[in-house]
Amino acid sequence: MLALANKIAIVTGASSGIGRATAKLFAEQSAKIVVSGRRQAELDALVAEIFDAEGTAVALAGDVRDEAYAKALVALAVESFGGLDIAFNNAGAVGVLGPLPDMLPATWHETIDINLTGAFLGAKYQIPAYCSAAAAR
């Protein structure tokens, strides 16, 4: 039996790196995946790879710092697959590297917003969807 059979997952930051690898692994374990990232072409390529491997995935491009996008990802999971079981809020940014005294506050805020606010906004909508799905079981 596959570990994630009949599970529904959202993976943010899925257009490359750890998020992409995680989405593929979840799909290999038979989860249905909503992949998220800023680059639509990379997400479309990932969905095609998952389909080619007989998995199931849909993509929605956007920015995790946008509350409407966080809500839309959850809505897509519910509408496409019937609920939400797993959320991997992986989207992140390293930010501009260099001496701290040279860093602009705007650069700091952008990094924090992607890494922290993005995960907060995701969880804000993912938790109620997960609880609804769990209550229905």
The number of angstroms, rounded, from the C-alpha of 100 to the middle of its chain's C-alpha atoms is 30
pLDDT given at position 133 = 75
Give residue-wise pLDDT tens across range 79-137: 999 999 999 999 999 888 899 899 999 999 999 999 999 999 999 999 999 998 777 77
Residue 2, in any domain of the structure = no
CATH of the domain at 13: 3.40.50.720
Count the Cβ atoms, other than its own, within 10 Å of residue 117: 16
Give residue-wise pLDDT tens across range 75-85: 999 999 999 99
Residue 3, in any domain of the structure = no
The number of angstroms, rounded, from the C-alpha of 67 to the middle of its chain's C-alpha atoms is 13
pLDDT given at position 1 = 64
Alpha carbon separation from 84 to 64, 96, 107, 116 (Å, rounded): 17, 34, 33, 21
pTM tops 0.75: yes
Averaged pLDDT score across all residues of the chain: 95
Residue 78, in any domain of the structure = yes
DSSP string for residues in the chain:
--TTTT-EEEESSTTSHHHHHHHHHHHHTT-EEEEEES-HHHHHHHHHHHHHTT-EEEEEE--TT-HHHHHHHHHHHHHHHS---EEE---------S-GGG--HHHHHHHHIIIIIHHHHHHHHHHHHHHHHHHH-
Residue 103, in any domain of the structure = yes
Residue 61, in any domain of the structure = yes
Give residue-wise pLDDT tens across range 12-58: 999 999 999 999 999 999 999 999 999 999 999 999 999 999 999 99
Domain with 62 in it = 8-136
Q: Structurally, how many domains does the chain consist of? A: 1
Residue 116, in any domain of the structure = yes
